[in-house]
Amino acid sequence: MNHMSKLDTFIQQAVSTGHISGTSLISSLYGDSLSHRGGEIWLGSLAALLEGLGFGERFVRTALFRLNKEGWLNVSRLGRRSFYSLSDKGLRLTRRAETKIYRAEQPAWDGKWLLLLSEGLDKNTLADVKKQLIWQGFGTLAPSLMASPSQQLADVQSLLHEAGVAENVICFEAHSPLALSRAALRARVEECWQLTEQNVMYESFINAFRPLLPLLKEVEPDELTPQRAFHIQLLLIHFYRRVVLKDPLLPEELLPAHWAGQTARQLCINIYQRVAPGALAFVSEKGETSVGELLSPGSLWFQRFGGLSVDQEAVCQFIK
C-alpha cells in the first residue's frame, strides 16, 4: 500500500466514522479558513472545497440554507451566483470560539474565583443563561451558585447584560487558600465540571488523530498535495473544535493528574503546522468572492496556537 493512499484512507475513515453534520462542518470551515480572509465565499467555491471529501452540492446548499436561517451567514446574489459571508453574529461567535480553539496552553491563574449567585430567575431564563456560562467555563457548585477560576469580570458582565439578567445575578470575587483544601477542591471541580466525560472526549480525539503524525512524517513532500492538506486541516479542526469548545479551560492547578487536554492540544498543533501552508494554497485556488480572490490571511492567522512556525512571506508567495 503506498503512502498516497494511506493519507486518503485516513481522510475517508475520518469522514465515515465521524457523524459529520453539514452546518457544523461548514461552521468549522468558515472559522478556520475564511474568517481571517474576508469571511465571504461563492457557493460554487464551497462545493469545490468539499467535493473531494465526498460531500455533494446538495449537502452544501442545505447547510448554507440553515446557517443563513439561523442568522449566522448572510447571502448576497450577483446574477445567478450566491455568495455567503459571516454575519455580525457569525463573526462574533467565531471570534469567541477562536480564543478557545487556537490557544497554545491552559490559562494562567492568580488563585481568584468569580462566583455568580442567581436567585429569583425563572427556570427557562436560568437554563439559557447557565448554558452560556457553562460555555464560558463556569461550573455549577450548587443549584444557584456558579463559579469560574479563569473568567474576567468584564466579559461575564457583558454576557449577563446581553442576556438581560445583569440585575438578577450577584457577582462575587473570592480567593481560595488552595493548600488547605486542595484535595477537596479538586474532587469537587472534577465533579462540577464533568471533567471525566471531557477527558474521554479528548482521549478519543487523540486516538483518532495520533496515527496521522507518522504518516505525515513519512510521506514524500509532493504526496501532501494542497487538497489533502486542506482536507486534513478541516477534519482536524472540526473534530478538535467539537471537544475543546466544551472544555472549561480550567487552570492547571485544578485539573486531575490524568488530564488529556494538553496532549490533545499539542497533537493538534503538530498536525496543523504541517498542513497549514498547503491548506491555505488550496483555499486560495478554489476560493472566489464577489470581488475576486480571497484576501491574504491577516496577522491574527499567524498568531494561532501561540504563533505558527510558517514563514509569512513564503505563505504570501505560496498563495499567489
Task: State what percent of residues in the chain have pLDDT above 70.
Answer: 93
Is residue 20 a contact partner of residue 233, using CB atoms and an 8 Å limit?
Answer: no
Confidence of residue 119 (pLDDT cuts 50, 70, 90): confident
Query: Given pLDDT bands bounded at 50, 70 and 90, which one contains residue 1?
Result: very low
Percent over 90 (pLDDT), the chain: 55
Task: Name 158's Cβ contacts closer than 8 Å, sequence gap at least 6.
Answer: none
**Cβ 36 vs Cβ 94: under 8 Å:** no
What value does the mean pLDDT take over residues 105-130?
A: 80
Q: What is the DSSP letter of 252?
A: G
How far apart are alpha carbons 29 and 45 in whole angstroms? 12
- DSSP label at 299? H
**86 membership: H or E segment, kind and range:** strand 81-86
Among the residue ranges 99-103, 184-188, 191-195, the one predicted with the least confidence is 184-188
Q: Would the pLDDT of 30 be above 90?
A: yes
Instruction: Give the pLDDT mean for 19-48.
Output: 95
pLDDT band at 179 (very low <50, low <70, confident <90, very high): low
pTM, 2 dp? 0.89
Q: Give the residue, 60 or 5, on which the prediction is more confident.
A: 60
Measured in degrees and rounded to the nearest 5, phi and psi for residue 72 equal -90, -30
Provide the 10 A C-beta neighbour count for residue 177: 8
Angstrom distance (rounded) from CA 237 to CA 239: 6
Q: Which residues contact 254 (CB under 8 A, 6 or more apart)?
A: 109, 149, 185, 186, 189
Residues forming a β-bridge with 174:
113
pLDDT the model gives residue 150: 73
Contact 137, 148 (CB under 8 A): yes
pLDDT value at position 110? 82
pLDDT digits (tens, 9 = 90+) for 249-287: 898 888 988 899 999 999 999 999 999 999 999 999 999
Distance of CA 185 to the CA centre of its chain: 29
Pick from 15-24, 138-147, 215-224, 278-287: least confident: 138-147
Does residue 127 have a pLDDT over 80? no
SS3 174: strand
Mean pLDDT on 150-175:
79
Question: Whole-angstrom Cα distance, residue 239 to residue 20?
Answer: 9
Q: How confident is the model at residue 26 (pLDDT cuts 50, 70, 90)?
A: very high
To 10 degrees, the CA torsion angle through 73, 243, 102, 154?
A: 80
Split at pLDDT 50, 70, 90, the class of 144 is confident
